Amino acid sequence: MRAGILGSGLMGGKLGTIFARAGHEVVFSYARSEQKLKRLARDAKGKARAGTPREAAQEAEAVLLAVHWLRIEDVLNQTGDLSGKVIVTCSLPMNEDNTELVVAHISSGAEELAKRMPQARVVAAFQTVPSEVLFGVYEARRKARRPSLVYCGEESGKGVAAELIRDVGFDPVDAGPLRIARYTEPFALLVAQLAYEGEGGPELAYRFERFRG
Ligand SMILES: NC(=O)c1ccc[n+]([C@@H]2O[C@H](COP(=O)([O-])OP(=O)(O)OC[C@H]3O[C@@H](n4cnc5c(N)ncnc54)[C@H](OP(=O)(O)O)[C@@H]3O)[C@@H](O)[C@H]2O)c1
């Protein structure tokens, strides 16, 4: 599929690279230097190129939103109309110094985003794992026991999101409608706590298992 990357930093740069290696057509956009976008596209070694947010979004079947919460307005002002598009957001509604969620409990970043673009099909995914684990998960994708990745959102966008999640090497776990992001976003902070403050390093993913007697 064609995937447009809005925000080509730790998350967008790595996920876009993996999408390209998995065979998707990727446009990297929104970094502070065009050279960086070009380098990402070259190093991805697939069908990847650098572009503007508008170029990334308008041709895309899936748009990955991977910017800081405070940059969302700015990037969305550059994409043009996103009606009907599947927007996969990994963005968490963090304050400027990334210490607190600024939306939680009675709403979520993903729901606020959907209110801003009611005609788009917003799915929250990739919020709950650190960027440091993504290449490792991709490299281990042929192993039988894949890590889980929760996602939630607009029903009609979930097929596209689940395909991308699977292509990265995760086992997609459909957690329900977008309001479930009220639970997945704080869970992402738990995973970040374990990744960055726990022992063993940030290359951390998780797996849900059912045990039936
Ligand atoms: N990092 C993680 O492990 C992780 C995990 C889960 C969720 N998230 C969420 O995912 C989102 C992205 O996080 P990230 O860690 O990937 O952030 P990041 O590395 O800072 O990437 C953000 C991207 O936005 C670009 N950008 C920032 N200001 C800009 C400006 N004024 N003009 C143009 N481009 C600009 C950056 O450009 P440059 O490339 O030039 O810096 C970068 O490409 C955040 O909402 C975060 O909460 C992150």
**For residue range 14-39, what is the model confidence (pLDDT) as tens digits?**
999 999 999 999 999 999 999 999 99
Is the pLDDT confidence value at 196 over 90?
yes
Does any ligand 1 atom lie closer than 6 A to the CB of residue 190?
Answer: no
Q: What is the pLDDT of residue 23?
A: 98
Whether 125 and 160 have beta carbons less than 8 Å apart is answered as: no
Residue 150, pLDDT > 90, answer yes
Q: Is pLDDT at 213 greater than 90 in this prediction?
A: no
Q: Are 153 and 126 in contact (CB under 8 A)?
A: no
Assign 45 a pLDDT band (cuts: 50, 70, 90): confident
- The Cα–Cα gap between 155 and 139 comes to 29
| pLDDT score of 89 more than 90 | yes
CA 186/CA 174 separation, integer angstroms: 17
pLDDT of residue 186: 98
Q: Which amino acid is at 84?
A: G
* pLDDT given at position 57: 98
Q: Is 36 in the pocket of ligand 1 (CB under 6 A)?
A: yes
3-state secondary structure of 182: helix
Measured from the CA of 195, which atom of ligand 1 is nearest? Answer: 3
Could you tell me if the CB of 127 is within 6 A of ligand 1? yes
pLDDT of residue 3: 98
β-partners of residue 94 are 101
In a 13 Å sphere around the CA of 12, the CA atoms on its Cβ side amount to: 31
Query: Average model confidence (pLDDT) for the chain?
Result: 97
**Residue 158 predicted with pLDDT over 90:** yes
Per DSSP (E only), the strands in the chain are: 2-6, 25-29, 47-50, 62-65, 86-89, 121-124, 148-153, 171-174
The pLDDT tens digits of the residues spanning 103-132 come to 999 999 999 999 999 999 999 999 999 999
Report the percent of the chain where pLDDT is more than 90. 99
Output the pLDDT for position 190.
98
**Which pLDDT belongs to residue 119?**
97
**Ligand 1: distance of its center to the CA of 213 in Å?**
44
* Index of the ligand 1 atom closest to the CA of residue 126: 6
* Closest protein CA for atom 9 of ligand 1: 91
Tell me the longest C-alpha to C-alpha distance in the chain: 56
52: number of Cβ within 10 Å? 16
- Percent of the chain residues past pLDDT 70, beyond the cut: 100
Residue linked to tokens 């090497």: 169
For residue 184 and ligand 1, the question of a CB distance below 6 A is answered with no
Higher-confidence residue of 213 and 85: namely 85
